[in-house]
Structure 1
């Protein structure tokens, strides 16, 4: 089994949400783009995994929560890819949830 230090080298862990963090609007998954792929993601050692997904110059954040009934997936809205990377940085640092 990997320690938290070892798995953080593979994929980052999300920092705790800051008190004044931006609240993202999470929606049911929808066919956002014909071709989309994860370009960054958090470590899968936790029940909550975030992915930055990109395609056609746009991006969104996918949130997957593993619970007893299976995965629950939610998406944010689309942003231009530069804005999506900025939101991704906010998720990782705890400034956005």
Structure 2
């Protein structure tokens, strides 16, 4: 399965976020370049994944 990155935050910050998806499902990936870690949310339907990504952009995500 090929994962597509649909949206992302600016690479100028040490922590970046990406909205990723494939086959009608999606997840949010967080990359912390300072700590050299990558974390991903659980796979879910595209709409809830997009909603979670938008909450992160607004500073409301957890």
The alignment's TM-score, normalised by the length of structure 1, stands at 0.60
Of 43, 59, 68, the residue aligned with 2:10 is 43
Unaligned runs of at least 5 residues, structure 2: none
The alignment's TM-score, normalised by the length of structure 2, stands at 0.92
Unaligned runs of at least 5 residues, structure 1: 1-33
Query: Matched residue pairs, number?
Result: 62
Larger RCO: Structure 1 or Structure 2 (Cα < 8 Å, ≥ 6 residues apart)? 1
Query: How large is the Cα RMSD of the aligned pairs?
Result: 1.1
Cα deviation, residue 42, structure 1: 0.2
Bigger share in strand: 2
Give 1:84's aligned residue.
49
